[in-house]
Structure 1
């Protein structure tokens, strides 16, 4: 897997925006999706971080979330809406957060000042290339829609084929069927519905493996022509953070509510010398940074 370590802001921008020229469109359109986090943080989903059988836990989580959340939200009663909504609000799911924006990914790699003395990383994945490893039927569906990312409606159409009732397991059998056909887990990218402005502002999308136990980083290492890791050196983090703030890539814009505003103000007006390094050996849960 290719790993690059830019030494300046300009070099970092060149790497993140590299390969973005699209000759067919005669425009600059990056083929990559991005995820920012700590350098050593694993690419695990919030569901995988729970102990136990992920499939059993997932079934119970989604059932309970549907039951108790229905009174508070208006959404279509489709599994993929509920998974997207749950992921968006912190429910452990098989989904993992990504963004179309490299600057949003940089925000999540630099937002925690307590980790400013540690390297960060931005993962870059070319979804069009990972899609070449999908079953032919799924590639055909993407080609018909002229996209490289699935939508909730597209996944629901697949779920409905051969479904008997609304049981959670039957809504996912097509994933298992395609995985068996390919003889390995398959990776999909899902563009969620615009449930609120946070999803819109973060240019958010999700990745999903057909097997909720599968290791995404291991999958990517087996298809390393589609992925690269951009290491954000600790010594560059403060400059990146300040330039993101100057470019209006902040909690105030990415979490457009009073909590996001308060987060931004607390961080923006905090003096650098007042930030104590984390305790030796302590690696809190939020080491993975803000992208779930």
Structure 2
């Protein structure tokens, strides 16, 4: 079955706005940019460790928790907090990042100039439709499961997924505390996979997701346009190293 909307080329920021205006029906939408249009919507843990993704995440989580506490300025107490902290620092997890901003997703589609010879993708997810299709929708319109708050999410904790690998569930679209400057700047939201790593775009009769194609030739121009809008590495990754890099770029031209 085809996706809800055909894959349309988006060559400029204006194209994206016009296309979203045509496709949006007033519903909540999430966005994800990927530098290669052929990449599926699967989390990093299954890309890096396809043979035992859940078991490997558990091993990584334990090792990370062994060494990280003395380096933290604030205590991390829950398993969810540890999982999101690992994701923040580049450790592979079952989390797949999304953003509530299409322009930020567009940045992630084009920011890596080493992929300027490859068409990119900007994925669009209807998260409420997705959750309702998986019988995970709330009774309040617009409500999402919240990691560490709603009991529904307890089954998606690594230790509990380990215990139910033989009874995998579909991913779920969920919210989490924006406890880091990076997640807040990126308007971060997530799909959390269980033990079934079928690409998200293949689930629920494919009516919850679609993508726009960013032509390779358009990437440099889009990067320049996003820079005019102050969407850059520092605005999405507000850290001292990026502040220093931005200062040098502004002075050196």
What TM-score does the superposition give when structure 1 sets the normalisation length?
A: 0.73
Match of 1:284 in 2: none
* Equivalent residues of 1:130, 1:187 under 8 A apart: no
CA distance in 2, matches of 1:94, 1:5: 29
* Equivalent residues of 2:31, 2:101 under 8 A apart: yes
1:256 aligns with 2:238: yes
* Equivalent residues of 2:55, 2:162 under 8 A apart: no
CA distance in 1, matches of 2:229, 2:154: 44
Counting matched residue pairs gives: 245
* Equivalent residues of 1:94, 1:208 under 8 A apart: yes
Structure 1 residue aligned with 2:213, among 191, 207, 231?
Answer: 231
Structure 2 residue aligned with 1:33, among 30, 36, 42?
Answer: 30
CA distance in 2, matches of 1:234, 1:160: 41
| Pair 10,79 (structure 1): closer, same or farther in 2 beyond 3 Å | same
Gaps of 5+ in 1: 23-29, 162-166, 272-292
Gaps of 5+ in 2: none
CA distance in 2, matches of 1:188, 1:31: 15
| Pair 78,251 (structure 1): closer, same or farther in 2 beyond 3 Å | same
Match of 1:125 in 2: 125
Structure 1 residue aligned with 2:47, among 46, 49, 55?
Answer: 49
1:14 aligns with 2:18: yes
1:107 shift after superposition: 0.6
CA distance in 2, matches of 1:190, 1:59: 20
Match of 2:188 in 1: 204
**Larger of the two Rg values belongs to structure:** 1
1:98 shift after superposition: 0.9
1:101 shift after superposition: 0.6
CA distance in 2, matches of 1:33, 1:259: 28
